[in-house]
Structure 1
Amino acid sequence: MLTRPSSGARLIALLPGVALSALVALAAFGLQKLELALVGFAWIEALVLAILLGAAIRIFWSPSDRWMPGVRFSAKTLLEVAVALLGATVSGAAVAALGPWLLLAIMGVVVVAIVAGYAIGRAFGLPHAMALLVACGNAICGNSAIAAIAPTIEAEGEDVAAAIGFTAVLGIAVVLLVPVVGSLLGYDATGVGVLAGLTVYAVPQVLAAAAPAGAVAIQTGAVVKLVRVLMLGPVTLVLGLMHARSAQKGEAKTGKKLKLMQLVPWFIMVFLVLMGLRSLGMIPEVVLVPLDHAVTLMTVVAMAGLGLMVDPRAVAKAGPRVAAVAAISALMIGGFAVAAITLLGLG
């Protein structure tokens, strides 16, 4: 008779892979600090560096069964915990200052960009999951959106790696283009801030893109970007429900029923609860900074684990199509942003 391993034994089995993922993550943080020291800005964030380093290791060495339990735990469970805790770092308090029309415009751009981006991806022959990841990454917040949505739709590691890699490179190009486009179109500080907030992926990159236009542009861009980040919760919830519905149709053939935790992933429920508590002021401000650091650390370790699970050959094979879809989607979002700014008279 077979016996199940004890909790202690399972924990011990996870340690080698988790430690390996953590070491890759530390190397990624080290490279990010080196970027800061050399050029004053991290053009490639630790999150991206972690997945690239992990994938690079896989070119020369494939982890054995001793390492894989912990690597899989880092790439999946640790990532889910990070997404759940992310809810405590976002609040609706600053959103009201934007006004209802700009709020509606931001939400409209995100939704239309996801739908159109997904359609473009499918038209280029990308698989369902990869097309969805690229679309959501461009529309919401780049790497963080891809990392958060991947476990919800059960995306493969190769899809996640390709989506993150190409949107990361594209994100740098968008940062450089925003001040140029803003200047060519004659935007004032508010217009540049809205343009940066609607098109740039990461919050630090939004600040960098808006900085040439001054403090007002930086503040406006940060708040607009916050609204895009807040869209991550509802979008992930909807995609999770849609994915669960497809799974439920398959389960119906066998007479099984999906439970609530399968319809709505546990980490999304925790995310929404924590976001609500933060908005109500029930989470002390003193815990927010360390919590944000913890979320960042767990996400980078998870990306390192994901990189260690990736076959770089599969990513390279999908490269040209993913790059084309990401670029076309980014240009499309830029067009939506310019149209919104014009219609609202914010330029």
Structure 2
Amino acid sequence: MPLSQARRIMPGLAICLLVAGAAYVVERIQHTLLGSGFLEALVFAIIIGIIVRTVFSDRASWKPGISFSSKTLLEIAIVLLGASISIATIMNAGAILIISVVAIVILSIYGSFAISRLLGLPSRLAVLIACGNSICGNSAIVAVAPIIEADSDEVASALAFTAVLGIAAVLLLPLLYFYAGLGAAQYGALAGLTVYAVPQVLAAAAPAGLVAVQTGTIIKLLRVLMLGPVIFTLGILRGREARRAGKKLSIFSLVPWFIIGFVLVVIIRSCGFIPPDAVQALLTASSALTVVAMAGLGLSVNVRTVASAGGRVILASSISLLLLVVVSYFVVISALHT
């Protein structure tokens, strides 16, 4: 990077780093006071970033660094996220379980997208909600956003309301275990198929015991593995749309560089070339870069735009999550015995 460009991005990057640091502090306070982490640092980074932008308005000197953080750092984070996926995990799960998870994710994506569009949401926001609900919440949203070229307001809207629903799912889903006659393995599978983040799956499955936690974790990891094929497919579809519009495209236009990097890291991890300790370090770096990127996202959000879409977004997300729970429930009771 040229020195002149580095100087241009430093003010905005510094602000993003400060916001990200504040987000981690708030997350730690949350753990201390509540004994658990209901909201991740990346959500706090968006919230704090929005507050900072509202207080200090839109400063021109910050823009290059904010753009660098929310785009380039996020793309690097997505590449590193590939270290969380191993092809061996897929192969060891068994064909029936894999087919069930794939089918539910695909059905949920299509159903969530259709619901969002029927409620009048823009197509890019509908895709974010669909992928967030169907795959892995926040991680899916931030991974898909640059591929479909979603703007900061759309990403902030999807993340904000998905975070709220994630907490609601953790608190309410155990009621199905206590009152719907599900066995521990069935309930764990249901949690793995419907709850957004891995820590949230652990929290939701815990009331049913160790079997539920283990089952939920395995199925959740299979669901997360769908992120790779989904972002790759979206990249191909985006490239086809551009070609139909008459644009000349290279391979990196058809499939963005960070998707290729993501796939390469998955292959390298699956071949055993990344030691376990290095895997954890890469995932920690990916998480940290994502938080900084979300700080940049929050610093570029227009509060009025997000608020205007709030009602429809929360309704679309809620209906989509309910659809996922209902479909998963019937699959679980049909496929797994108590």
Q: Give TM-score, length-normalised by structure 1.
A: 0.95
From 82, 85, 102, the counterpart of 2:80:
85
Paired position in structure 2 for 1:121: 116
Paired position in structure 2 for 1:332: 323
From 196, 200, 209, the counterpart of 1:201:
196
Paired position in structure 2 for 1:3: none
**Cα distance in structure 1, aligned partners of 2:146 and 2:177:** 36
Contact 2:186 2:332 in 1 (8 A): yes
Q: Which runs of 5+ in 2 are unaligned?
A: none
Contact 1:50 1:301 in 2 (8 A): yes
Cα deviation 1:136-175 (Å, max 9, x = unaligned): 1000001110000000000011000000000100010011
Contact 1:58 1:312 in 2 (8 A): no
Deviates more, 1:46-55 or 1:91-100: 91-100
Cα deviation 1:9-33 (Å, max 9, x = unaligned): 1011111111111110111110110
Q: Does 1:134 align with 2:129?
A: yes
CA RMSD of aligned residues (A): 1.2
Pairing of 1:31-42 with structure 2 (within 5 A): 31-42=26-37
**Cα distance in structure 1, aligned partners of 2:90 and 2:96:** 12
Deviates more, 1:333-342 or 1:84-93: 84-93
Pairing of 1:305-316 with structure 2 (within 5 A): 305-316=296-307
From 103, 106, 110, the counterpart of 2:105:
110
Deviates more, 1:288-297 or 1:184-193: 184-193
Deviates more, 1:216-225 or 1:309-318: 216-225
Q: Does 1:317 align with 2:312?
A: no
Contact 1:176 1:209 in 2 (8 A): yes
TM-superposed CA distance for 1:282, in Å, is 1.7
Contact 1:182 1:195 in 2 (8 A): no
Cα deviation 1:271-304 (Å, max 9, x = unaligned): 1111112112121112011111111100000001
**Cα distance in structure 2, aligned partners of 1:315 and 1:99:** 42
Contact 1:178 1:192 in 2 (8 A): no
Please tell me the residue identity of whatever aligns with 2:220: K
The number of aligned residues is: 338
**Cα distance in structure 2, aligned partners of 1:342 and 1:210:** 16
Contact 1:95 1:223 in 2 (8 A): no
Q: Does 1:294 align with 2:289?
A: no
TM-superposed CA distance for 1:345, in Å, is 2.6
From 54, 58, 69, the counterpart of 1:59:
54
From 261, 269, 272, the counterpart of 1:270:
261
**Cα distance in structure 2, aligned partners of 1:63 and 1:105:** 47
**Cα distance in structure 1, aligned partners of 2:187 and 2:92:** 17
Please tell me the residue identity of whatever aligns with 2:196: Y
Q: Give TM-score, length-normalised by structure 2.
A: 0.97
From 157, 166, 171, the counterpart of 1:171:
166
From 309, 332, 335, the counterpart of 1:341:
332
Contact 1:56 1:312 in 2 (8 A): no
Contact 2:177 2:187 in 1 (8 A): yes
TM-superposed CA distance for 1:92, in Å, is 2.7
Paired position in structure 1 for 2:182: 187
Tell me the secondary structure at the aligned position of residue 150 of structure 2: coil
Q: Does 1:8 align with 2:13?
A: no
